[in-house]
Structure 1
């Protein structure tokens, strides 16, 4: 091996005729040891350095007097040299050129019970709720409840000024009564008119029948016969112009329509008058009051409802389940509910409703979510409406299953794998993932491999550790 530790500035000739000037002194300024006096590791390092230097300088003499672009060539050699150095770091090239066996960190394969859970947060609310609003432009004269009050269905919550509506009801009632009176008058006139028209038609019919006989006997002329025929037709038309119900003449349908419209207007005004007493539509608790005396009922600030009422006897939690997980959720599934207000305790829940349609998740995501309702079934719950709680659903579980940390599984093109160190060699075992826990997963062999407790599983698998490669456990 050539000695590259000559005195500073000395020039050396290379086999290819190229020259270089090398500087190599110790860190303290003294002469460095030569390769014969150096430790084996120093000699190995010196040899690598010498070969890299040789590779880089040889590029200057390529093609006899026609040097290539040094920057491009040197970069290629530097990359190759870098790979050599990296290989030397990983596998520790020995002085004899033999690659050392790599070491890997392993963990024992164990069995344990494992559970897969789905945990999602959502708002807590009553099972039945209603926002009480009014579209009547009337002043609020009286407020009968405050937040926190228990109310029953039909209970009066507030009273509005009804003066204008009482007047409108009277006007509408008068209009209705007038329409009814008009129809009754027209009914009477129509009945009498129809009765007379029927009589006239019957008389004209008899006259025309008699004249027909006289005409056949030659006692009257053709003109007399035609005159009686025209009278009969006029009487028929006069009778047919009447609207008849059950054999009796009645008023034109337009009068009945007038009565109907007037009745509708009266009913609407009466309903508005009744609604000046604002009532609760459900049994529950008043959770919000957004109005006050002196305001107009239809002009609540920020368009909020006058009152919000919820049935707090039964609470529900609404969560948004991803479309990728909804297949693991079903009605009747049990849930554990946690919230800050419970101070570390848990309450029971049950899935009672899954929406038949999905909706956008929001935030620019293309993922869809499905609203799902979980009912709180714990008696005397400490939860309250309006807070956020977290529901944990048990998706699936396995008993006495082989498990590994999530990081011990890697995916290849065809399968998921774990790597084990067996008899000093790396072995790839294809697996399928069973129950997916938070930090560990159940692994099931995808072939006829039989897993055994205590197998040395590579903690951080690396596809570079190929099947059959020799390896040692870390620490040896």
Structure 2
């Protein structure tokens, strides 16, 4: 009997405790509140770019003929004016020898005709021959001298052309691609090789269309990479290419970033990717809130106040990854509810 009473008392205690907890109001939980602060904001865009050579050159043939020798190979480092390819010179040497032989023959003929004219001039003064005969000889000599001059120019042109049969590099760099083989016949305009300078690099990055209007030449850029983890490099927007077509349906623009720091300290190669922060604008001594305390509804911005007012509209300015500038609509003594989403 005593045991049953104890069980009943225990159950009544549990029920009573539950009822008390239901009717007792919960303790007021504190809500995180933030206020306007003074500080600086740098608006920026986060993008990913890639190192590419500043100097790169495609080498095309300026003559036709048969490739005799290719003394370089893909991946090889080369210096400026180093020999890349030789084309067989048999034909050009034959052309030069033929024109030179004709030039020499006409020079001999011109010398002989000059002596003949000198002799005929003396005869003309003695009226032994007519003046017309002398004029005819002078005309022949003048025509011959014009031909000699043209042949001389042709020899110079052919010798200059013969230099083109020895293809040399216009820049320092590395052979990235060779498109021809020894023994191959080539025509004028044939693509022979491609050369890139891996020591002189820039960064290329694609900017999406909705952000492209913010980019301007000269904007500073912070460059980060695991290749140089301890110190970000500095750069600037150097060039803007209005449209991109690397991918079907892509829109926006490509920008080129020149690197202001010395890259020789790091093991950087074309194709290495980097993280970029492009600084669009900067403002000191502005009023701001944590960016998570402001919500955007369509094209308007709102905050929720500590006093319970929901969706009070505010006018915003610059914003970065953590802060958003408040231009109007909020006093410095008004607390704003800021519930972190992290």
1:133 maps to which of 49, 56, 60:
60
Q: Is 1:276 the counterpart of 2:165 in the alignment?
A: yes
2:317 maps to which of 410, 421, 433:
433
**What is the rounded CA distance, in whole Å, between the counterparts of 1:332 and 1:181 in structure 2?**
71
User: Contact 2:214 / 2:280 at 8 angstroms: preserved in 1?
Assistant: no
Q: CA RMSD in A?
A: 4.7
Q: Is 1:351 the counterpart of 2:236 in the alignment?
A: yes
1:391 maps to which of 255, 259, 276:
276
Q: Structure 1 residue 186: deviation in Å?
A: 7.8
Q: Structure 2 unaligned runs (5+)?
A: 1-30
**What is the rounded CA distance, in whole Å, between the counterparts of 2:275 and 2:118 in structure 1?**
76
**What is the rounded CA distance, in whole Å, between the counterparts of 2:275 and 2:239 in structure 1?**
17
Q: Is 1:382 the counterpart of 2:263 in the alignment?
A: no
Q: Is 1:316 the counterpart of 2:202 in the alignment?
A: yes
Matches within 5 A, 1:201-216: none
1:267 maps to which of 137, 156, 161:
156
User: Contact 2:53 / 2:270 at 8 angstroms: preserved in 1?
Assistant: yes
**What is the rounded CA distance, in whole Å, between the counterparts of 1:403 and 1:198 in structure 2?**
111
Secondary structure in structure 1 of the residue aligned to 2:96: helix
Question: Structure 1 length as normaliser, TM-score?
Answer: 0.49
Question: Structure 2 length as normaliser, TM-score?
Answer: 0.65
Residue equivalent to 1:330: 217
**What is the rounded CA distance, in whole Å, between the counterparts of 1:404 and 1:194 in structure 2?**
106
Residue equivalent to 2:84: 157
> Which whole-Å deviations, capped at 9, do the CAs of 1:372-396 have from their partners, x for residues lacking one?
2423633322221244444332333
User: Contact 1:121 / 1:391 at 8 angstroms: preserved in 2?
Assistant: yes
2:98 maps to which of 157, 163, 171:
171
Change in CA separation of 1:126 and 1:366 when aligned onto 2, cut-off 3 Å? closer
Q: Structure 1 residue 279: deviation in Å?
A: 1.5
1:450 maps to which of 308, 317, 331:
331
State the number of aligned residues. 301
Q: Structure 1 residue 450: deviation in Å?
A: 1.7
User: Contact 1:330 / 1:351 at 8 angstroms: preserved in 2?
Assistant: yes
Secondary structure in structure 1 of the residue aligned to 2:61: coil
**What is the rounded CA distance, in whole Å, between the counterparts of 2:251 and 2:122 in structure 1?**
77
